[in-house]
Amino acid sequence: MCCFSQPVELVAATKIFARPTGTGTQVLAYEMRFAAVGELSMVLPLPVPPGSAEDAVRFVDLSGYSDFFADLAKGFPVELDLPRGGPAPSRMAQPNLVVHEVGEFEASFVPTLADFERLDPRFRLPPGVWDSLPAYADYGFAVFELRGAVSRVGRLLGRRTKPRTVHPMAFELPSRAPERAFFPTVHVHDGRVHPSADFDHTLYLQGLDAPAGWDRSEGPAEAFVDLERAQGLVRPGEPCSRRTMVGRFANEDVWV
């Protein structure tokens, strides 16, 4: 789910890697190209078991492996034809959530929707967003602080917002469905939830047999991924699978 606390001008070239670990958790890596003004956050709802502790999510710093997804792509043949899509009650004051320095980001795990009150208001989504997404009522959330390429003052001076790609965001989460892989693909780019959305996504899967419509890599992951720099996200001895989603699709997450 690609949700932003402030409107964004562009989101493109989204890439997501998911792997169930077989021990009750899932690893996830996420990268995108975006353009925005000022500071904002990206929020990823996570299907953690209800009641997960504040330290349940382990963040992974991939600032030293900015080409992680470029290496994943090397395991697949050149793609010639892309598949297209069709048409709160009062609470006592609590301490702020722990903020993790993860390369270029500051990241936090928000255990419940109510705990968003413990974040800076700039990095919260409008309350009405969650009213439109009741399925996430008992999810946890990973929040990454992003910085736009141009300040608001610079924008008033006529400077253009330049799209930028940041190094992948990565973490390991406990999963309420550990036998499945979860890809956060629901879009909230303008403070509203639309029934369908324009996708520009490439999904990578490891640890499960992919369904029909996914490509299989040419060889095991270590043939094209630097396992040391991937810090345990990718498992050796196993291939990866890939699905490309470009076009208009139902605005929902992908589960495998």
* Segments in the chain forming alpha helices (H): 68-73, 127-131, 152-156, 227-230
Spatial separation of the C-alpha atoms in residues 232 and 21, rounded to whole Å: 10
What's the confidence (pLDDT) of residue 210?
93
pTM (two decimals): 0.82
- Residue pLDDT, tens place only, 145-202: 876 544 444 444 445 567 777 789 999 999 999 999 999 998 876 667 788 888 999 9
What's the confidence (pLDDT) of residue 99?
67
What's the confidence (pLDDT) of residue 50?
93
What's the confidence (pLDDT) of residue 87?
45
Complete DSSP assignment for 61-106: E-TT-TTHHHHHHTTSPPP-S--EE---------PPPP-EEETTEE
* Cα dist from 145 to 142, 148, 256, whole Å: 10, 10, 28
- pLDDT of 81 above 90: no
- pLDDT of 248 above 60: yes
Spatial separation of the C-alpha atoms in residues 40 and 146, rounded to whole Å: 5
- Are residues 61 and 104 in contact, defined by beta-carbon separation less than 8 angstroms? no
**Highest mean pLDDT of the ranges 197-201, 221-225, 251-255:** 221-225
* CA proximity to 198, closest of 255, 249, 253: 249
- Residue pLDDT, tens place only, 94-128: 566 666 777 677 788 889 988 888 877 766 777 67
- Are residues 171 and 143 in contact, defined by beta-carbon separation less than 8 angstroms? no
What's the confidence (pLDDT) of residue 149?
46
Query: How does residue 84 score in pLDDT terms, banded at 50, 70 and 90?
Result: very low
Percent of the chain with pLDDT over 70: 79
Q: Which fold has domain 2-87+96-255?
A: Baculovirus p35 (2.60.250)
Average pLDDT, the chain: 83
Percent of the chain with pLDDT over 90: 49
- Are residues 184 and 44 in contact, defined by beta-carbon separation less than 8 angstroms? yes
